Chains A and B, each alone.
With several copies, the nearest count.
Chain A
Amino acid sequence: MDDLAAVAPLAGGGFIVDVGDFNGPLDLLLSLIRDEKIDIYDIPIARVCEQFLVRMRDLALNEAAEYLEMAARLLRIKAHMLLPRHDGQDNWDDPRAELVRRLLEYQQMREVVDVLERLGEDRRNRFARSYSPELAPPPQAPLALSLAELLLAVDRVLRAARKPTLHEVISRSLDVDGAIITVRAVLALRAMARWRDVIRPDPEPWEVLSCLLALLELAKRNELRLAQLKPFADVEIRREFAGEAA
Chain B
Amino acid sequence: MNSLAKLLEAALFASPRPIPTDELAVLDREASPAAVQAALEEIREHYDVDGHGVELVEQGGGWQILTRPEYTEAIERAQMAVRPTRLSGAALETLAIIAYRQPIGRADIAEIRGVDAGAILKSLLERGLIEVVARGEGLGRPLMYGTSPLFLEQFALRHLEELPRVDELAIALRREPQPL
Contacts and interface: CB of A to CB of B under 8 A. Distances in A.
Interface of A: 23-27, 40-41, 66, 70, 101-102, 104-113, 115-117, 119-133, 135, 137-138, 140-158, 160-161, 165, 178-179, 181-183, 185-186, 188-189, 197-200, 203, 207, 211, 217, 221-222, 241-244, 246
B14 interface: yes
Given A66-B115, A133-B66, A200 B93 contact: no
A109, A130, A221 interface centre (most CB from chain B within 10 Å): A109
Nearest to A180: B140
5 contacts: A111-B164, A128-B16, A128-B17, A143-B86, A154-B100
A141 B126 CA distance: 12
Contacts of A41: 175-176
Contacts of B100: 109, 112, 154
Contact of B69 (A105, A126, A129, A132): A126
Nearest to B116: A66
B34 interface: no
Given A26-B114, A125-B72, A129-B13, A112 B87 contact: no
A185 B140 contact: yes
Q: Ordered nearest first, which 8 A-B pairs have the shortest CB separation?
A: A182-B140, A127-B14, A24-B115, A153-B92, A148-B178, A126-B66, A112-B96, A125-B69
Contact of B155 (A24, A104, A145, A179): A145
Contacts of A112: 96, 99-100, 163-164, 169, 180
Given A105-B180, A185-B143, A113 B93 contact: yes
B84 A142 contact: yes
A243 B125 contact: yes
B88 to A, nearest CB: 8
A127 B92 contact: no
B86 to A, nearest CB: 5
Given A24-B113, A107-B170, A141-B82, A127 B66 contact: yes
B26 interface: no
**Interface residues of A: mostly helix, strand, loop or mixed?**
helix
Interface in B77-108: 79-87, 89-90, 92-93, 95-97, 99-100, 106
A124 B155 CA distance: 8
A125 B83 contact: yes
Contact of B83 (A25, A101, A124): A124
B98 to A, nearest CB: 11
A151 B93 contact: no
Given A66-B114, A143-B84, A207-B139, A111 B66 contact: no
Contacts of B163: 112, 115
Nearest to A207: B139
A210 to B, nearest CB: 9
B75 A147 contact: no
Contact of B10 (A108, A117, A127, A197): A127
